[in-house]
Amino acid sequence: MTDLDLILEAAREAGELALRMRGAGLEVRSKPGGSPVTDADLAVDALLKARLTAARPDYGWLSEETVDDPARLTTDRQFVVDPIDGTVAYLKNKPWFAVSVAVVEAGRPVAGVVLAPALNETYAAAAGAGATLNGTAIAPGDAVDLEDASMLGDAAMFVHPAWPTPWPAMRVESRNSIAYRICLVAAGAFDAAIALTPKNEWDLAAADLICTEAGAVLTDHRGDSFAYNRPVPLVPSLVCANAALHPLILARVGHIDLSQR
């Protein structure tokens, strides 16, 4: 079984578990820092870890809901997992959450799955093989101008008076799951996605490969691509768009010093 087949099978089982547990009623507590975590987040994480590490015992493991083990840094390949990305949507009975599973080698994802079980949407990619939604090839949209572009992000951010050049009128929406946002851009459902706050590797790894294989571009706000399985698995920001819009966005946000925020 290929790595992609393995994580697809595990992600589907995890998505079914997430839906069952939400239907039965969730137990919720707060993590340090205040973000919510449910018993389903932990159960899905445990399921994925059991299935995946049993099949690939020599792979490292990095997950939002597992205490980090630095031993992953010495492995050749790693699973990078967010068991339920978009927990707030999941809690509120909204559909915009996803199971995100990637296999990383030499700092880059080589297989990735982002599964939105409440929407019956499964995005998948393997390095060099293109990206799919429910088995059908996907590609980003063809917008060439930010004017009237469909954007995923914080609507208030775009109208803040501090911008040197005001943003043009755009259709701005939000989705809780970072991984799902990136996949929506990769599939052409939205033109771009921007977040100028730190994100974790598990938010990005699977979606990064899906985005790249579809033909879209994902970087931080300075235009730097992401490396995975680092000692501190955090990135400063994200900009995701097709090849035409991406540089137009960087021209507007690349000057920002996020270290001062």
Residue 22 backbone phi and psi in degrees, to 5: -65, -40
* CATH level 3 topology of 150-260: D-Maltodextrin-Binding Protein; domain 2 (3.40.190)
Domain 3-137 in CATH 3.30.540.10? The answer is yes
Q: In this structure, are residues 199 and 239 in contact, taking their beta carbons and an 8 Å threshold? A: no
Give me the helices (H) in 138-188, please.
155-158, 178-186
Q: What is the pLDDT of residue 257?
A: 86
Q: Where are the domains of the chain?
A: 3-137, 150-260
Q: What is the pLDDT of residue 258?
A: 82
| Longest CA span, the chain | 53
Q: What is the pLDDT of residue 51?
A: 98
Q: What is the pLDDT of residue 260?
A: 54
On the question of a common fold for 3-137 and 150-260, the answer reads no
Q: Which residues of the chain have pLDDT under 50?
A: none
Q: What is the pTM of this model?
A: 0.96
**pLDDT tens for residues 89-113?**
999 999 999 999 999 999 999 999 9
**pLDDT tens for residues 158-205?**
999 889 999 999 999 999 999 999 999 999 999 999 999 999 999 999
Give me the helices (H) in the chain, please.
3-24, 39-55, 87-91, 155-158, 178-186, 201-214, 245-253
